[in-house]
Structure 1
């Protein structure tokens, strides 16, 4: 029997890649993100991949009160239930904490942490009624370690991890309800090119780079066989070891390593990226970081330079 899967953050990166995989399995999909035009593209892709029922696209901004509940209502109205809810919607802002505008920092936290909380609240109310369901939150290794210049994102991912732990404790009476975290390291998605920056340069995913398809496969396996925490990438345990066991060494090295491997060479003026509004022109499964830009064209749907709407 096919499942009903809601994907928030379906327009780009891991969410879009996972939607393709769920569709290929014959699952029925409810796709959500901020940009209607991009959602229409993903809906068509999922239909071509084999979604049993044509995927439903519901433009949704998780920071808007009532929007997540309206999304759940649309899913239930169309398919009668929700079996799996994957949440990957996120935005990023680069900069020293004191130099990132207050409203930008707060919007990152509002999207990445409070948006996840809104999704969890709505999903778990539905799952408790049915006594079954899988909530998968797209987390990050930055929910377990820290790095400079990403204060809003790191704050949100640490808060998300704490929230997930509380939710598991509160739902121990329902063994059929699962709260899962999928935590990759750096992934080749457009989110880094779409990020806000107040450093004078753009951001980039730190190596070793993961393909979003690999993370999406981990998501689908988690939906099949739920696990509390699914790390993706061999570097994660190395980072956690250094952060926990050698904190002085870690804090000495993480700044230079971030500046060398986590920031791009592109010079950019201060901008708010997609923190407040989507940029459909930059949304795709991959960000093009894994391909040598000097002699290969970027994959379709990506741009070598940030295009801010």
Structure 2
């Protein structure tokens, strides 16, 4: 006798009872872009529904998010002035640090705040740190200033540090510095497998971080290499990462599943700007059922093994009542 699989699909109540993969608001982290100045809320043409905001508008956005039940944030900063070493991220006036202080002042511990830890938004050349005389990223020199940036964020009250530069020794360096400075309680969500991807295009428009020369293939992961991608994350786990991450998400679900099978750490995916923009453009063109496609995409991340989804769709998912 053949197996009748359809018996568990015949009505919504049964289908819901046996659903294997579920989404929850607490699974999601919402990225936000903050800029120096006041009374600024600029829309991003390539990312409909995404804005660059000054701190005053950021606080208003936090009020809306709290009403929706969105409490996990990831902050990115955009400085007024950029230079060769990203010194705007090494200053007491660091825009992300000031934003964290402001959110904590007005909302207490209502939000779990992660901060992107890198230099690509702050350097005039758009690379992720200090360059050597040949124009290549100087890994070890960048580790030194990365540690300084981390301490500024720690002192501001950040809840999670999220280093994204794909530097060798990044996690070990940060763990040692945090330990010595009495910040060992701050977890690190490492961009442990971050590919040199074309899907980042719209983000670079927002953060004004497109490299002025060359590219980031010398330090970000080769999209063609699956085994190396897994090794990158497992190495960060050995160095002390608390949460691993795969970025981008949609084109790399095989890597997400492999890392999930090899690690017991919490695993995040970053549903990046290009993935977001493609879906929003498809919605505008009316070529698919947008809400169903959006939900199906998010479920695919969880089904592949992600515990955490970083997505520009987070607020929208709540407004559309697609997640509980």
Q: TM-score, normalised by structure 1?
A: 0.38
Structure of greater Rg? 2
Q: TM-score, normalised by structure 2?
A: 0.37
